[in-house]
Amino acid sequence: MVILSMDIPEEIKEAKDIIQTLLKAKKTLRMYPQNNPVYQKTMDDANDRFRDFFAYNNTLTLKIKQNSIFYEDEQVFYSPEKEDNLALFFFKDGLRELTFNKGLSQEELEEFLRLIALDFDREAIDDDVVTLMWEKDFQDIRYVVDEAYLVDADAESYEQVAEEKLKEQVTDVSDLMRAYSDGFTEEDVKSISIVPLTDSDLQSLVKELEKDSADKIEKLVAILFELVRLAEQKRDFEDIAVYCKDAIAYAMKHGNLIVALDLMKRSHEIIDNQTLDEDEKKHIRTLTLFLGSEEIVGSLAEMLDSGVDIEEKVLEEFFGYLEKNAIEPLIKYLGELKTIRARRNVIQALIVLGKKDIQAVARGLGDQRWYVVRNIIYVLRKIGDRRAVEHLLRTIRHGDIRVRKEGIRTLGELGAREVIPALRECFSDPDIQIRVATATAFGHIESEASKRIMLDQITAKEFRDKELDEKKEFFEVLSHWKDQEVFDFLVKVLKSRFFFNRAKLFENQACAALCLGFLGNKDALPVLYAVRDSNNKLVSDFAGIAIKKLEYGT
């Protein structure tokens, strides 16, 4: 066995590294169980090799000959032997090309490696490599098989059978391939040469089928609502509502948000029709509830996560038709979405719907996933309803610091009096981020009680030993109260004389000077000028910043 080595481009070397990794994995994964460290290291190495290659390339296509493998017309593997010959292993089952796409997941790569690690000569395996790969239905691993290995069929019967199979399948690439293969049956085997479809052919076919199905669903919607206009019995409305739900489900599953929107617009026109009685309308009203079902929200989540371009206006209009029953499934899928854009859209939908049912949104605070809880807190803050306070109070004791910070911030912005005792306890948290977030929350509340608490914190004996950054944050929060009491307090701190713990107390003076600049009261200028010449550089620098801010507003 030979892996060629010469002065060649980096990607060729990386392709060779991947071949070596495949060879190693083919042996190792057969010998060790999944929980063995050797197995795990082999998988990690394989993931690293592919990740390195895909850092600069979108696809890795390997052309397979009997004893060699090529990448970009460069031979990256050669072996004349029968044992451990990776090229021969693929070639004998008809594989002529293997393509790995950039989106290749760790799970799919492991499935592929476990497949090629099978000992087809010694184990009781009825299928070959191609069949097993087809059964796995890989998403980011494609392959080309020699047409001589395909089962032949009579041209006329093949065309008819394949067409029937295609009509039964969902119009995506993997299903088209499946229909293409299923069109052959052993009874129909005759000699005919079949030219494989290229990727370009398949993509064109998919687009045509999707366009055709979109046109038909739009026509179906128009027909359904024409039937509503002609309906004479209540039973007719019930049946039409069922058909409309099927149409919504089909449109959403195929990413056609426009059709679903059109259907909802038409249904609301019926609901607003004064000539129809409520018994007739009630079946059409169920469409809105169906729109918020887990099935439809799941299709919406998949659509958002796919990266398909949806106009913001269209999405907002769709959210406008949702009712509060959509809140629970939206929260469920919020924790499963993979893209930031998709999560942002779902959060926006929850903000809109949450105003209709605060309790339903608040139930999301009990989710086991910290990131879901933090997003729900954000939703409640944006809704701004103080009824959420009783639910939010428990978040400041959450096990994750990110959740606690978000909860504290939200309670502060909601500004209800009942949050003050609970927030005050957070000043004793061992984490500086939580203590600073708590101070900021009191600054948002801006009540007399919260001012008194901030003054108590700054004058406490233990405050002098805090880090400078934390002190600055506390003093800056104090500047929210632009009254005489705070002004006098800051001047007093600035004029203080001390002999012990000088370094820490100089920090307090410097922060007080900075805070006077934030207050905007120019009566502080004389005392600031007096300390600007302080022997302590920090006090001098902070006083200079405050003076500049008061005199020039910068």
Is 0.85 topped by the overall pTM?
no
Whole-number Å distance between alpha carbons of 100 and 52: 13
Segment 260-286 shows an average pLDDT of: 79
Supply the pLDDT for residue 438. Answer: 96
* Structure confidence by residue, pLDDT tens digits, 173-207: 445 445 444 544 444 444 444 445 455 554 554 45
Supply the pLDDT for residue 291. Answer: 93
For the chain, what is the mean pLDDT?
Answer: 82
CATH number of this structure's domain 446-554: 1.25.10
9-18, 126-135, 321-330, 449-458: least confidently modelled range: 126-135
Supply the pLDDT for residue 533. Answer: 86
Instruction: Name which residue leads in pLDDT, 239 or 371.
Output: 371
Alpha helices in 322-400, H assignment, sequence order: 327-334, 340-354, 358-362, 370-383, 389-392
* Structure confidence by residue, pLDDT tens digits, 529-542: 999 988 899 999 99
Q: Give the residue extent of every domain in the chain.
A: 10-149, 165-196, 446-554
* Structure confidence by residue, pLDDT tens digits, 20-78: 999 999 888 888 888 888 888 899 899 989 988 888 888 999 999 989 999 988 899 99
Residues 6+ apart with CB under 8 A from 446: 415, 480, 481
Environment class of 258 (CB within 10 Å of its CB; exposed 0-12, middle 13-18, buried 19+): middle
Supply the pLDDT for residue 190. Answer: 43
* Structure confidence by residue, pLDDT tens digits, 415-447: 878 899 999 999 999 999 999 999 999 999 989
> Would you say 259 and 302 are in contact if contact means Cβ atoms under 8 Å apart?
no
Token readout for 166 is: 């295609």
Whole-number Å distance between alpha carbons of 490 and 502: 18
Supply the pLDDT for residue 124. Answer: 47
122-126, 287-291, 392-396, 428-432: least confidently modelled range: 122-126
Segment 254-276 shows an average pLDDT of: 82
Alpha helices in 9-36, H assignment, sequence order: 10-31
Residues 6+ apart with CB under 8 A from 387: 358
Whole-number Å distance between alpha carbons of 308 and 318: 16
Supply the pLDDT for residue 100. Answer: 93
Whole-number Å distance between alpha carbons of 314 and 144: 40
Residue 240: which of 209, 275, 276 has the closest Cα?
Answer: 276
* 349 has a pLDDT exceeding 90: yes
> Would you say 143 and 133 are in contact if contact means Cβ atoms under 8 Å apart?
yes
pLDDT confidence bin for 241, thresholds 50/70/90: confident
Segment 1-9 shows an average pLDDT of: 47
* 457 has a pLDDT exceeding 90: yes
